[in-house]
Amino acid sequence: MQWPHKDLLDISQLSPEEIRHVFEVAARFDEVNTRSVKKVPVLKGKSVVLFFAEPSTRTKMSFDVAGKRLSADTFSLAKSGSSLQKGESLKDTALTLQAMHPDCIVIRHTSSGAARFLAERLSCSVINAGDGWHAHPTQALLDGFSLHRKWPAGFTGKTVLILGDVAHSRVARSDILMLTMLGARVRLCGPRTLLPAGVGTWPVEVFSDVKKACRDVDAVICLRLQLERQEAGLLPDLREYAMTYGLNETHLDQASPDVLIMHPGPMNRGVEIASGLADAGNSLVLDQVSSGVAVRMALLYLHAGRSRELTLQE
């Protein structure tokens, strides 16, 4: 497939075929990650800027690892220590980075729309690594890739529950788009104050009782309680939230016997997920991290190396 997109800003810009193509390319790079020498020269001479104006461990590290395994040069800019702290605007920061001729800028920012703002002004590719509450498309694609490896026959007939702080979650928004596009049914569950105002119009079933929401589900994606994005007063008591909406063994009594447990990380163990479930045999939490490297290799390959053929043997 000739990749038609300069930028990756949200899942809504992709077709189901394009999502499956990302999975196919990621599967080939996943094999590279199992070799003793985990490096291929497909992006040799290409430059990737990692512009992270908000903290990150998984996304930033995996884009860095992904770029280096493809032989690209990766360069990092964080808010702390940059001229953003002296008041330089996002536009001037972006134009300054572009003047150094990168092939791709990966951006994480606290503001929804920051990635699009850059993509509309820069000629290089822009990949959204999370913008405000809006979207986290690379997380959705890696979640999808982890599930695709478990469900090779496809997502049709599968039910996925997204549990917790949906209102403040860019992961939930991108996961819902990806999962429904691939044919899965999606359920949401959380306290009313942590569900978005317009959730009634979303293509999901909404539950308030976790046990009922878990009935017959094939996977549960737990969401981090995003206290840093919340106004005061949305939760009366953290302990009560953990007991009522934190995923535990009892909630999963009537889930599918093969239910998969996921969390995008970072996790608040004992809050949105019981610690034992995070480490259980059916937990995909670390598999999601490994998938993240393969999927981000695929995305850098497709965006930073848009005119290259995929020749992993090189």
Provide the 8-state DSSP code for 122. Answer: -
Per the listing, tokens 């259980």 go with: 280
- Nearest approach in angstroms of CB 268 to ligand CP is 13
270 contributes a contact to ligand CP by CB under 6 A: no
Half-sphere exposure of 231 (CA within 13 A, CB side): 5
Closer CB to ligand CP, residue 139 or residue 180? 139
**185: which strand partners?**
159
Going from the C-alpha of 189 to that of each of 24, 195, 212, 213, the distances in angstroms are: 31, 8, 10, 7
- Asked whether the CA dihedral 33, 39, 42, 45 is positive or negative, the reply is positive
- Nearest approach in angstroms of CB 265 to ligand CP is 5
Query: How far is 261 from 217, CA to CA, in rounded Å?
Result: 10
Going from the C-alpha of 134 to that of each of 10, 100, 116, 164, 305, the distances in angstroms are: 9, 28, 11, 17, 27
Closer CB to ligand CP, residue 135 or residue 217? 135
CA 54, chain centre distance (Å): 15
- Nearest approach in angstroms of CB 298 to ligand CP is 17
CB distance 155 to 219 below 8 Å: no
| Interacting residue with ligand CP among 93, 139, 180, 226 (CB under 6 A) | 139
CB distance 246 to 194 below 8 Å: no
| 33 closest CA partner among 1, 76, 68, 72 | 68
305 contributes a contact to ligand CP by CB under 6 A: no
193 contributes a contact to ligand CP by CB under 6 A: no
Lookup: tokens for 128: 């959204």
User: For strand 47-52 and strand 104-109, is the pairing parallel, antiparallel, or unpaired?
Assistant: parallel
58 contributes a contact to ligand CP by CB under 6 A: yes
Angle made by CA atoms 255, 261, 263, in degrees to the nearest 5: 140
Closer CB to ligand CP, residue 140 or residue 184? 140
Segment near ligand CP (CB under 6 A); pick from 54-62, 120-128, 159-167, 302-310: 54-62
Closer CB to ligand CP, residue 264 or residue 305? 264
265 contributes a contact to ligand CP by CB under 6 A: yes
Closer CB to ligand CP, residue 158 or residue 296? 296
76 contributes a contact to ligand CP by CB under 6 A: no
190 contributes a contact to ligand CP by CB under 6 A: no
Segment near ligand CP (CB under 6 A); pick from 89-97, 151-159, 226-234, 264-272: 264-272
164 contributes a contact to ligand CP by CB under 6 A: no
286 contributes a contact to ligand CP by CB under 6 A: no
| Interacting residue with ligand CP among 3, 23, 51, 59 (CB under 6 A) | 59
Going from the C-alpha of 250 to that of each of 144, 211, 247, 255, 277, the distances in angstroms are: 26, 8, 8, 10, 11
266 contributes a contact to ligand CP by CB under 6 A: yes
CB distance 286 to 256 below 8 Å: no
93 contributes a contact to ligand CP by CB under 6 A: no
| Interacting residue with ligand CP among 56, 230, 256, 268 (CB under 6 A) | 56
Closer CB to ligand CP, residue 113 or residue 265? 265
- Give residues in contact with ligand CP (CB under 6 A): 56-59, 130, 139, 264-266
